[in-house]
Structure 1
Amino acid sequence: MTTRRHLLAASLALAAVSAHAQQVLRVTAIPDESPTELARKFAPLGAYLESKLGMKVEWTPVTDYAAAVETVVNKKIDLAWFGGFTFVQASVRSGGKVVPLVQREEDEKFRSVFITDKASGIARLEDLKGKTLSFGSQSSTSGHLMPRSFLLAVKVNPDVDLKRVAFSGAHDATIAAVASGKVDAGALNISVWEKFVAEKKVDPAQVKVFYTTPAYYDYNWSVHADMPQALQDKIKAAFLALDPNTPQGKEILGLQRATKFIPTKPENYTGIKAAAENAGLLK
């Protein structure tokens, strides 16, 4: 009888631990900016989600884009901020089991910019032939995939026609590489560029945008399809309820560089998938 009571107590304890674990929402993001900046941007959003979901929210940084994909595919992370390309990678890796919930309104018509030193003589994409160029991360939508696809569209093959191609790892690092003269030009997310200009972290008199890409779908917040539908719905509702007319909503949306969040769906990223396949980047 004593043994049976012990087994029952152990079972109840394990159930309690399991229930507690399910009350934690583990969140990450692709490291497209510095770790300190990502943590700063997430802090008020995490507190907001805790209040809306009634559960603890834990921020878990990852080392690179591939790690962000794998943690969601393997259900070690519950909610992730993906770029369009990393979402496509996660969707393919999981057999369609990773689903996007919301995106910023800006992500319906996202763009990349190519920048260069004003003294470089580079004025159009074709002028990059024989020059050095920095992308961001190899898995970045706005810092690699889409800039590469627009270069290929004007018959500039980065791996053949450029003197050297580098990967900075993040958009802010690309700006630094161009500003310091390490490379002749760089390609990055327009929103990070505009933030750096607004915060006077880059001198537009020295570094200029010489090409802005056409619009495409980009970032989203995604979850694994195995997450209970009720929790998916609560997360989506929390993002959609963010209101720029409230102090809390204004702060969170400002840090996320968003006017508001809107629903999204996998079909929005078919163009990104096609671009990745055409560029030979989707294995």
Structure 2
Amino acid sequence: MKRYFMFGLLLVLTITLAACAESSGGASDGAANAEDGGVIDVVWYPNESGSDMKASRDEIGELIKDATGQEVEHHLTTDYAIAIETIVNNNAELAFMGAQGYIEANQRNEKIQPLVVPTGASGTLDDAVYHSWLAVNIDDQEAYKKDGDFSLDTIADKKMSFVSNSSTSGFKVPASGIISHFTDKELEETDLMEGGPLFSQVLFGNSHQGSAVNLLNGNADVAAFCDTCVENYVELVEGEPNRAGSVYRVKDDASEPFNTVKGKEFILISVTPVLNAPFVGNMDLLGEEGFKKLQEYFSSDDVANNEKIFVPEDSNESALFFKSGDERFAPVEDKWFDPIRELSK
């Protein structure tokens, strides 16, 4: 009995070790598997991980499958840091992330490279921007004005909500503007991550949606979030899009997390253009040929004309990308993101 027991134990151990060796592999093994028809893993930020974005994620998955012939798995997250770690540590081939997240990932793993970004309505990179907002509740707007105009002076000692310190439009860009405004306080980025130096309290929503809800449910006085991440949940009711002084209202049929603040209104006190977010690829896992194949297909006319990818602007569907003109995906190089890098210098 003892001999049979030891033989069985050794057999189980051998099978287990073989399975571990097959599934783990190094970076080079991952690249080989991807090129030989393995599964492509796409990691998504919390902003794009919600159920309302499933149709867009699935269509992007089909796009990747068409380009490569490989199956696609979607890696959903609840935290920016997790998404960045996933692709940096060779646990995903692709990611859709903001400029700041890409810069952080590239610093830690130079094999993370930008694939494409969505263009502006011109179909070029000239207007490939979205917008970082600072917003306050509509009933409180007068408290944020000086001599009749909105002023950043008024946000001192308030409860502030950001998205994540790895968010471009939800932290990096607004933080840079705030630091530049309060020159007398000699602030650094870390000073804006906690209450005391400028704000009475600092919250992080972990997504743009979460930061906006922090404002609308009364947990924060001022919130940073971007236009594109909340456009499926809110509607413009006064003013022009992306202008300080414009008023937005949460739609009556808004899904989570806005379902608890339906009908609430907020007003923009500051608007800043931001470079569009890229799809990025892990060259270690994709290989150069796989990377180029994806880049060419993403940038094709077929994809630009796919209404499931670039949803018509007048539709009532939730989507990642909308078509108001000649929007499409365009290849982009690392140096295109240098303006965001400069914010850290």
Do the two structures share a fold, i.e. TM-score over 0.5?
Answer: yes
Instruction: Provide the C-alpha distance between the structure 2 equivalents of 1:179 and 1:262, rounded to a whole number of angstroms.
Output: 36
Q: Which residue of 1 aligns with 2:105?
A: 90
Q: Which residue of 1 aligns with 2:280?
A: 222
Candidates 154, 158, 177, aligned match of 2:214 = 177
Deviations 1:90-117 (A, max 9, x none): 11111x2211010011483232011111
Instruction: Provide the C-alpha distance between the structure 1 equivalents of 2:67 and 2:111, rounded to a whole number of angstroms.
Output: 25
- Structure 1 residue runs without a partner (length 5+): 1-9, 279-283
- TM-superposed deviation, 1:142: 0.9
Q: Which residue of 2 aligns with 1:136?
A: 163
Deviations 1:222-264 (A, max 9, x none): 1123332211111112211255774xx1121232224211111
Q: Which residue of 1 aligns with 2:310?
A: 253
Map 1:2-151 → 2, pairs under 5 A: 22-23=36-37, 24-94=39-109, 96-106=110-120, 108-120=128-140, 121-122=143-144, 123-151=150-178
Asked if the contact 1:131/1:163 (under 8 Å) is kept, the reply is: yes
Instruction: Provide the C-alpha distance between the structure 2 equivalents of 1:206 and 1:182, rounded to a whole number of angstroms.
Output: 15
Which of the pair has more CA radius of gyration? Answer: 2
Asked if the contact 1:33/1:172 (under 8 Å) is kept, the reply is: no
- Aligned to 2:128, the other structure's residue is in SS state helix
Q: TM-score, normalised by structure 2?
A: 0.68
- TM-superposed deviation, 1:50: 1.1
- TM-superposed deviation, 1:203: 6.8
- TM-superposed deviation, 1:135: 0.4
Instruction: Provide the C-alpha distance between the structure 2 equivalents of 1:228 and 1:68, rounded to a whole number of angstroms.
Output: 21
Question: Judging changes above 3 Å, is the alpha-carbon distance between structure 1 residues 177 and 65 closer, same or farther for their aligned structure 2 residues?
Answer: same
Question: Which residue identity lines up with residue 194 of structure 1 in the other structure?
Answer: E
- Aligned to 1:238, the other structure's residue is in SS state helix
Q: How many residues align?
A: 259
Q: Which residue of 2 aligns with 1:162?
A: 199
Instruction: Provide the C-alpha distance between the structure 1 equivalents of 2:58 and 2:47, rounded to a whole number of angstroms.
Output: 17
Question: Judging changes above 3 Å, is the alpha-carbon distance between structure 1 residues 77 and 139 closer, same or farther for their aligned structure 2 residues?
Answer: same
Instruction: Provide the C-alpha distance between the structure 2 equivalents of 1:153 and 1:223, rounded to a whole number of angstroms.
Output: 33
Question: Judging changes above 3 Å, is the alpha-carbon distance between structure 1 residues 238 and 82 closer, same or farther for their aligned structure 2 residues?
Answer: same
Between the two proteins, what is the percent identity of the paired residues? 24
- Aligned to 1:250, the other structure's residue is in SS state coil
Q: TM-score, normalised by structure 1?
A: 0.82
Q: Which residue of 1 aligns with 2:268?
A: 209
Q: Which residue of 1 aligns with 2:333?
A: 265
Question: Which residue identity lines up with residue 77 of structure 1 in the other structure?
Answer: A
- TM-superposed deviation, 1:34: 4.6
Instruction: Provide the C-alpha distance between the structure 2 equivalents of 1:61 and 1:206, rounded to a whole number of angstroms.
Output: 29
Deviations 1:37-80 (A, max 9, x none): 44342011112221232111111123422222222222110011
- Structure 2 residue runs without a partner (length 5+): 1-17, 23-28, 121-126, 145-149, 236-249, 255-260, 312-318
Question: Which residue identity lines up with residue 99 of structure 1 in the other structure?
Answer: Q
